[in-house]
Structure 1
């Protein structure tokens, strides 16, 4: 999968400006933008405002709310001038994304109140693509960005949307702007930045489909791994997650997380769920560490944090882990994280008698 960054922001903006520059002499203010209530002019100004807002969030390292500023066009600015502003704010976002370290996260309200540089780039690209479509529809223009760019957006901030044969049509549907023959129309929509859970010396960083594709193919998933990582279990978990994504059953918060050290930003292992909680509220967890990271308490810290996050949710009644009977180190991890061993017949995975089942129940 293509990385999401400054190049993609510039590609989206260049495509929008190339389409709209020849028609700046038309009445944008008096023309409704597609299905929106806004005019084409208002929609174009909104794009510029979003691009500079996202650049401001990242550059200012905002943590609790939006930086309180807005962009206002000078009186008498024509449609050509608005496109100039879109080009400028797009360049500012692209530059900010490139200059921002990977581990930096800044405030965005949905859904987990933060996003990293890839998230802000993807949100900026989505705003440009979706609203250029709106303006083009209002002005009667044909517009279709590259399939690769649309797929990049979908795999970064629409992990809950089942991929389709046509990424552009899928993105239009996902943003409430189009119809797909096998899906009901959307009346409301949101993108989904990855969840990050603090865990002492680590953070658990949710893996996007884009990262999972790369991990499954033998890449790094965009993470800076210590020697020996990622381990086989992380790659296998990424493959399981992708199956759910491709089937449209993936729920991002119940997917895979990479364990990243706070002090140096390096990835040491993977942890996550085998899927969303079942009808009884049980969810299964699994994990692994690169060999160089073992014996330092990382897995215990991460599992304790992930368990606390999951059991605080009303839909979860218990967590389950299956551990090989010969893996005493992993048995120690689950025990220190509060899990207790259950009878073999209660295990959902011990079909060959080679694993112990461990459970941690909610106390509410």
Structure 2
């Protein structure tokens, strides 16, 4: 699966235009757009407004709020003109995504108040796919985007949604637009961008299911790795994440994080949770650093930051970690990060814990 990109935005917009041009002579103001409360004209304006707003936030590196403007078509703009606006704003977002500097993030409220270029691409594609569905439904037109587009959206910004038999029907169900066998109807929903946690020298960057899938398939997950990376431990962690996602038990905040150096944007290792907190508020954490980056304190710095973040939550009271009994370097990392030894697990492993 390719990481979400400007090409995906372009593909989604092209599909939207192809469908809606079939009804260009209809009165869109008199037709409700599927299950939403807007007519088709208002919905098309909304799509264009979202596309240009995402482009502006990403290109302008907005940090605290949306760039303060709104799109308003000229008075009397007909359907053909409106589709031209959608096409142009889609091109603006595609260009903003394609030219965004590596690692740049900009404001979006859900749920961690920022998104990277991959997130903005996925949100733009989601807006286009879902609202094209709404308008096509209202106008009585058949519409179904490619399975890859729908799957990419799900695995990028719906990490909490268990994949269904078909990506498009799953995305419609996840956004309250359809039914899925064996699952209750969805009445409220939000997408989820990935969490990032900056430290002094690193940016702990949450790995999405889409990136985890690529890592499992021997890809780079969309990260620029230093020599020797990613190591097998990172791929194993990605496999655990992907298994949880496919089972529908993955929570996007309790994920694997790539350790990205702030100075050059290169990934030097990974750190993450082995699952969600249990009923006693205990969560397990693991980590690895590429051989070329060891001995510089990256693991300790990252471990301190992620453990501090976890223990600040109401649902975490203990962070648990394991180290091989023969690996004194790993045990030293845990000790420097504030963890206390709590005994041997077996003849190979020792346990450490940090409590709130």
TM-score (norm 1): 0.97
Equivalent residue number for residue 260 of structure 1:
260
- Distance in 1 (CA, whole Å) between partners of 2:104 and 2:82 is 31
Kindly state the Cα deviation for residue 231 of structure 1 after the two structures are TM-superposed: 1.0
- 2:290 is aligned with 1:296: no
User: 3-state SS of the aligned residue for 2:29?
Assistant: coil
Equivalent residue number for residue 5 of structure 1:
5
Question: What are the within-5 Å matches in structure 2 for residues 93-132 of structure 1?
Answer: 93-132=93-132
Kindly state the Cα deviation for residue 258 of structure 1 after the two structures are TM-superposed: 0.3
Q: Deviations over 1:23-68 (max 9, x none)?
A: 1111110111101111011000000000000000011000111110
Equivalent residue number for residue 70 of structure 1:
70
- Distance in 2 (CA, whole Å) between partners of 1:148 and 1:95 is 21
Q: Deviations over 1:205-245 (max 9, x none)?
A: 00011110111111110100000111111000000111110
- Distance in 2 (CA, whole Å) between partners of 1:278 and 1:175 is 29
User: 3-state SS of the aligned residue for 1:48?
Assistant: helix
- Distance in 2 (CA, whole Å) between partners of 1:158 and 1:102 is 22
Kindly state the Cα deviation for residue 2 of structure 1 after the two structures are TM-superposed: 1.9
Equivalent residue number for residue 347 of structure 1:
none
Equivalent residue number for residue 167 of structure 1:
167
Equivalent residue number for residue 351 of structure 2:
357
User: 3-state SS of the aligned residue for 2:321?
Assistant: strand
- Distance in 2 (CA, whole Å) between partners of 1:165 and 1:283 is 31
- 2:209 is aligned with 1:209: yes
Q: Deviations over 1:262-316 (max 9, x none)?
A: 0000000000000000000000000000000000000000000001100000000
Equivalent residue number for residue 246 of structure 2:
246
User: 3-state SS of the aligned residue for 2:30?
Assistant: coil
CA RMSD of the aligned region, Å?
A: 0.7
Aligned length: 356
Kindly state the Cα deviation for residue 252 of structure 1 after the two structures are TM-superposed: 1.2
Q: Deviations over 1:105-159 (max 9, x none)?
A: 0000000000000000000000000000000111111100000111111111111
Q: Deviations over 1:148-205 (max 9, x none)?
A: 1111111111111001110000010111111101111111111110000112100110
Kindly state the Cα deviation for residue 102 of structure 1 after the two structures are TM-superposed: 2.3
Tell which deviates more after alignment, 21-30 or 38-47: 21-30
Kindly state the Cα deviation for residue 22 of structure 1 after the two structures are TM-superposed: 2.2
Gaps of 5+ in 1: 345-349
Question: What are the within-5 Å matches in structure 2 for residues 14-163 of structure 1?
Answer: 14-163=14-163
Equivalent residue number for residue 305 of structure 1:
305
- Distance in 1 (CA, whole Å) between partners of 2:50 and 2:174 is 19
TM-score (norm 2): 0.99
